[in-house]
Amino acid sequence: MVGDTEESENTEQMSQRVTEAQRQLLEKLADRRFANLPRALHANIAAYYAWGAPAGMSRSERKRPDQIQQWLVAMSR
């Protein structure tokens, strides 16, 4: 059973890293005003955030969804 707990913690940490990487990518793209954003990347980002806060999103990030939402709206223009 110890292995299950370790695996669960590793999965959660990996999920948090992926979530942070997605947020950082979204922020960098927003800084560039989403210039030359490939359609496939647009679709990937939109799908990632389509169901609200991803599982790996930290509590502090959940308190800041407005910024992410603003970036997503700007991306879709």
pLDDT for the residue numbered 53: 65
Quick one: pLDDT at residue 25? Answer: 95
> Nearest-5° angle of CA 25, CA 73, CA 59?
60
> What is the reported pTM?
0.74
The per-residue pLDDT string of the chain (77 residues; one tens digit each, 9 = 90 and over) reads 556 777 777 888 888 888 889 999 999 999 999 999 999 999 999 998 887 766 666 666 666 678 888 999 999 98
The predicted pLDDT at position 61 comes to 66
pLDDT at position 16 is 83
